[in-house]
Amino acid sequence: MKYIALIAHDGKKDDLVEFVLKYRQFFSKVPTLATQTTGSRLKEKGIDVETVASGPKGGDAQIASRITEGKVAGVIFFRDPMGKHPHEPDINMLLRLCDVYNIPLATNPATAELIARYIA
């Protein structure tokens, strides 16, 4: 079974944790992959998640690599559209690869809910 990748900028981590808890039944049935800080916040809430490096340390690129390997079914990336991020090139590469490989990508709770319902 393919992963659902979970990523959130610092200002959106609480929103992502809340979303995953709301859809806990769905996330308990699919393998999840998250960047380090996001994943550790989810683990604190009892969510089973595999982690890669934090976004600024290459985690976005690691998830992008899994996309190219065909191991990701969807990406939920709660982005902070108002913030500047030093790893913006990695973020753009990840978003581009979602388009290249036709991977569903949610950048807000409304679209994330659609992805969760579709995959479920």
> Model confidence at 21, in pLDDT bands (50, 70, 90)?
very high
What the chain holds in terms of domains, given with CATH numbers, is: 3-119 (3.40.50.1380)
Mean of per-residue pLDDT scores for the chain? 93
Q: How far apart are CA 44 and CA 17, in angstroms?
A: 10
Using the CB atoms, write b or e for 74-98: b if 16+ within 10 Å: bbbbbbeeeeeeebeebbeebbebb
Q: How far apart are CA 86 and CA 88, in angstroms?
A: 6
**Strands lying side by side in the sheet with 72-78:** 50-52, 32-35, 3-8, 72-78, 105-106
Pairwise pLDDT comparison (49 vs 80), residue with the higher score:
49
> Model confidence at 83, in pLDDT bands (50, 70, 90)?
confident
Q: How far apart are CA 110 and CA 92, in angstroms?
A: 21
Structure tokens belonging to residue 24: 């806990």
- Annotated catalytic residue: which of 14, 15, 60, 90? 60
Based on the residue annotation, tell me whether 99 is a catalytic residue of this protein: no
First to last CA, the chain: 12
Q: How far apart are CA 97 and CA 95, in angstroms?
A: 5
What pLDDT is recorded for position 31?
97
State pTM to two decimals.
Answer: 0.94
